[in-house]
Amino acid sequence: MNQFFGKRGQQTPVGQPVAEVTPKSIEKNNVLYQGSVLHKRFRPRRHSLKYHVFSLLLDIDQLDQIDRKIRCFSRNKWNLYSFHDVDFGNRDGEPLRPYVLEKLAEANIAVSVGTIKLLCYPRMLGYAFNPLSIYFCYSADQPDSESADVVAILYEVHNTFGETHTYVIDPTKTGNNLSNTDRTADETTHALSRGKIARHSCDKKMHVSPFAPMDMNYRFRISYPDDNLSLAIQLSNAQGMMLTACFNGIRHDLSQRALLRNLFSYPLMTVKIIGGIHWEALLLWLKGVPLFRHVKQTS
């Protein structure tokens, strides 16, 4: 088993050899979730929006196999649907596994990582914008990725200024979860297991919206990716909760037929996402919601 060493002499998590790729593993590790996104703003003006979307949950080590299996899907090439490595991670086009392991090492999270799955929007007709992409890192000690524990979660946030920040969460650490009084019976401070829900919080580190200041806190609530997937994010500060964003999706097989059907069920979805961001910004401005200056992200 090989170990890597990251910056400043940090020991990175161990990246286990990828399990043998079989048609069955491709089918179970790569799926799509159809659902809806709901945003609700509570102050200083009330505002809400809801739109229907679908996301792909992809094994980042099986992207080439998906490319060969599904004709309308390509990796790093134009197609009806495509996945481009340059859209994620360091955005340099390099494979994503070393990037994920480096981020875990920088956060001093020493876990044995097997399968890594990425929840994201694909490019449709060559275009995509992913406000949030989520990496689920599964335990290498449990060979079945459908039931293996999630030992780390990475929230990769993109803003419309071309900036990216990744929030790295260790669900096994109490410090990354809410207090016991905020936790229900199905939540855990251990690795995120099948049927469980994880809650954690972190300070906002990157400017995202001109209608929200930087001195804010994120509170995440996310379920184990299974037949259903749910994510809720609260943005708050000392004055209380400002807004919530939720995604609830139902799992479907990833196939040629499903993608072609979604091309008509969700026409120009990725273009609508970026268009919707600017349209809702106009509505907020018309409602008199104050603007906050963009603070350029620093390394």
Q: Residue 212 is part of which domain span?
A: 7-286
Indicate the burial class of 282 (C-beta count within 10 angstroms; 0-12, 13-18, 19 or more).
exposed
* Rg (alpha carbons) of the chain, rounded to whole number: 19
CA 74 to CA 123: how far, in whole Å? 10
**DSSP string covering 193-223:** -TT-EEEEEEE--S---TTS-SS-EEEEEEE
Pairing of strands 123-124, 112-120: unpaired
Q: Is the whole model's pTM more than 0.85, yes or no?
A: yes
Task: Supply the pLDDT for residue 12.
Answer: 46
4 band by pLDDT with thresholds 50, 70 and 90:
very low
Mean pLDDT taken over the chain: 85
Cα(89)–Cα(266) distance, rounded to whole angstroms? 26
Of 71-85, 179-193, 227-241, the range with the lowest mean pLDDT is: 179-193
Q: Are 252 and 34 in contact, with CB atoms under 8 Å apart?
A: yes
Q: Which of 10-19, 67-76, 79-88 has the lowest mean pLDDT?
A: 10-19
- In whole angstroms, what is the distance from residue 242 CA to residue 44 CA? 8
In a domain, 86, yes or no: yes
| CA-wise closest residue to 55 among 147, 118, 126 | 118
Mind listing the pLDDT tens digit for each residue in 247-284? Answer: 999 999 999 999 999 999 998 898 888 888 777 878 77
pLDDT at 11: 44
pLDDT at 296 over 80: no
**Span of 7-11, 29-33, 208-212, 284-288 with lowest mean pLDDT:** 7-11
Q: Is residue 139 part of a domain?
A: yes
Residue 102 predicted with pLDDT over 50: yes
Give a yes or no: residue 74 inside a domain.
yes
Q: Is the residue at 66 inside a domain?
A: yes
Q: State the pairing for strand pair 14-15/112-120.
A: parallel
Number of domains observed in the structure of the chain: 1
pLDDT value of residue 287:
80
Q: Among 40-54, 210-224, 270-284, whose mean pLDDT is lowest?
A: 270-284
Residue-level pLDDT at 183: 38
d(CA 136, CA 116): 6
Position 190 in a domain: yes
Residue 291, in any domain of the structure: no
Query: Quick one: pLDDT at residue 182?
Result: 40
- Does some domain include residue 296? no
128 within a domain of the structure (yes/no): yes
